[in-house]
A and B are shown apart, each in its own frame.
Chain A
């Protein structure tokens, strides 16, 4: 708190980003940060409803969930996980660049982040396409003939229960992908603003907050990956 007053003398006179109803830049920054964290909590609860549905149905229909999960490609899932984790790294490096006032680095990292996000979405698109080809998309054309191998025998699976898995798969990954699209759009805008020099070491709250959002989307995927892709793979 104290050192901010030392670095920004007369914040009201010098900082064009300071809104009138805040006493100083520090208060504004703290407010924006708390607001962002609360928003992240709403995101946790938003996805939480789906995690609850997932948990309940996985316990109720374990065989079908395992059999359906094994239709996903671990390679693509793990690749996408890695892509997202690296993008989280580039985001935090972008924040660091913004704090250091290094405009070129900031723009570079933001652009890399967007590219990594798009890579994730393209891979996801290929995965979805494969689901359409194999009639694993819930709805009237859904069909599921695979079995669950419990180690000694192959147990047939109720297609309705497998469809439930894929409903949740599409709902959760779809909602996650929607958040990724929003994040990519956000970072594109921020990259343009950064290029124009809107941010300074004294003011880069939008970069920080967009970063927090991106990290949370990453965290949700960190849980989605084992829950959706890695059910009973050792059989």
Chain B
């Protein structure tokens, strides 16, 4: 395979950041690394916006009386929080930022297969985000992030159609990202990079992309049907006109349950990279971890109605879905056990990314196991729509996805920016995030178990102590999230210059410079080794290229 090698006049070398400075060079770029940075900025904006709404929720729940806002405003606030965090943060965050940056480099390609479609994805995301912000400014929407009918079609008098349109467009952004990743991983791998040599982050993104491509269109058409019903007063889901609101829930969760795996799988991929690097070991059970990602993607489509156990589905269907849901625990547990086995007798170092990886394993395990409680019909009937559910999915979504994302951001920040972050501050913020997270969400397990329902702006006095704990935790968590933003920005100017491979890690992305040149590699690499060959990398020998 011949490749267009860049001539070897490498000094002074331009990288992807110095290759053009104007606004146009960013907004019209087709470089996957620049698009990743664009995503990083936009996703961060939405994260803090969603976080702002989260703080409003926690402030409202500080006191039982509901004295900060009215019930209607509270409905809008938790809806905004949910929609922003799910559709504009959690779904794109790891694939669109870290995945966009790393997938081509990790497989030794110059770019994604369709660079212009990649840029289109970002523009679709921005159009959707702008629409959503507009919807928010003209009064918001109050259906909950799930758009449940018939409230969303005949009940609510807020801007459901505009919010739906925003989600619809954001969905196409994610479809195009997934499509791009699948084609890239199939068609653009460097010579010698066989499927069983791929980094597990690539496997995870591949599995994620399968869900994006197969699931997202279904929610897109469902939202179109909701909008059409609302605009033209049809009876597609309206029970008064012969429709069935449960059909909406079936179609919605057919995507939105697998969407949970869109969020968590890429973070699992990140954790596989971190665990191996900071315990200096080959991954334990490579094939099992790789295939468990694909298994999660497929099984994820078989379990959706566990969100509907008390909604009125048949008992028979409820039993089938409960039964199937337990199976999803198997591949998830395979991953956790294999990570733990990888740690065994490793030379573990406690750099910041590894702290986040540890946090991920612990919190994801709690989140996953409580998911099994909820899969059990009898328990679900008791705790459905309570704070137990809220705590469960925040353990997976925040404790899982966000921990993985932050771990990955610290790990690859030297590669993305060419600078090192301040390790002391980073460790402090990792600690704050972990403590703050548990303080925020662990009390919610108890609250839910003793019966506090979700989505209410008031509550009986006896729930106050736990709610105060949760609100206190959320402010610690907020500090933990603000700190990285501050020191990452600080490091852009004042951080020490990063070497090509500061962690002495395996993986093609560490063989190119930090930051990488526009076409990633001076010469297309040829891969002759397995992923995570840490036993072949001497710990101190920083300059030695891996493999050849």
Contacts and interface: CB of A to CB of B under 8 A. Distances in A.
A45 interface: yes
Interface stretch (A21-29, A71-79, A124-132, A217-225): A21-29
Interface string A163-183: 110011001000100000000
Contact of A163 (B1, B214, B242): B242
A4 interface: no
B250 interface: yes
Consensus secondary structure, chain B interface: helix
A47 interface: yes
Nearest to B250: A52
Contacts of B228: 167, 171
A195 interface: no
B234 interface: yes
B3 interface: yes
B134 interface: no
Contacts of A48: 217-218, 221
A164 B236 contact: yes
B109 A21 contact: yes
B187 A30 contact: yes
A41 B213 contact: yes
Contacts of B113: 31, 35
19 contacts: A21-B188, A21-B519, A31-B183, A31-B187, A34-B182, A39-B179, A42-B179, A43-B217, A45-B217, A46-B218, A46-B221, A47-B221, A49-B221, A49-B222, A52-B250, A56-B244, A57-B243, A138-B234, A139-B234
A146 interface: no
B182 A167 contact: no
B242 A38 contact: no
Contacts of B8: none
**Nearest 7 A/B pairs, CB to CB:** A46-B217, A49-B221, A21-B110, A45-B217, A21-B111, A160-B242, A31-B187
A178 to B, nearest CB: 11
A167 B217 contact: no
Contacts of B217: 42-43, 45-46, 48-49
Interface string A146-174: 00000000000010110110011001000
B91 to A, nearest CB: 16
Interface in B63-77: none
B220 A46 contact: yes
B236 A38 contact: no
B235 A163 contact: yes
A30 B519 CA distance: 21
Interface in B113-147: 113-115, 117
A50 B183 contact: no
Contacts of A60: 244
Contacts of A23: 1-3, 524
A53 B3 contact: no
Interface string B174-192: 0100011011101110000
Interface residues of B, number: 47
Contacts of B222: 49
Interface of A: 12, 19-24, 27, 30-31, 34-35, 38-39, 41-43, 45-50, 52-53, 56-57, 60-61, 64, 138-140, 158, 160-161, 163-164, 167-168, 171, 175
Contacts of B251: 49, 52-53
Interface in B222-253: 222, 225, 228, 232-236, 240-244, 247, 250-251
A60 B240 CA distance: 15
B486 interface: no
Given A45-B214, A61-B242, A27 B221 contact: no
Contacts of A12: 2, 4
Contacts of B187: 27, 30-31, 34
A49 B241 contact: no
Contacts of B220: 46, 49
A60 B218 CA distance: 21
Contacts of B117: 35
Contacts of A171: 225, 228, 236
A146 B345 CA distance: 77
A139 B244 contact: no
A167 B217 CA distance: 20
A160 B241 contact: yes
Contacts of B186: 31, 34
B216 interface: yes
B115 to A, nearest CB: 7
A106 B221 CA distance: 35
Contacts of A41: 213-214
B235 A160 contact: yes
A38 B183 contact: yes
B164 interface: no
Given A42-B179, A42-B213, A49-B220, 5 more contacts: A34-B187, A49-B254, A53-B247, A56-B247, A64-B242
A19 B112 CA distance: 12
A155 B247 CA distance: 27
Contacts of B232: 138-139
B448 interface: no
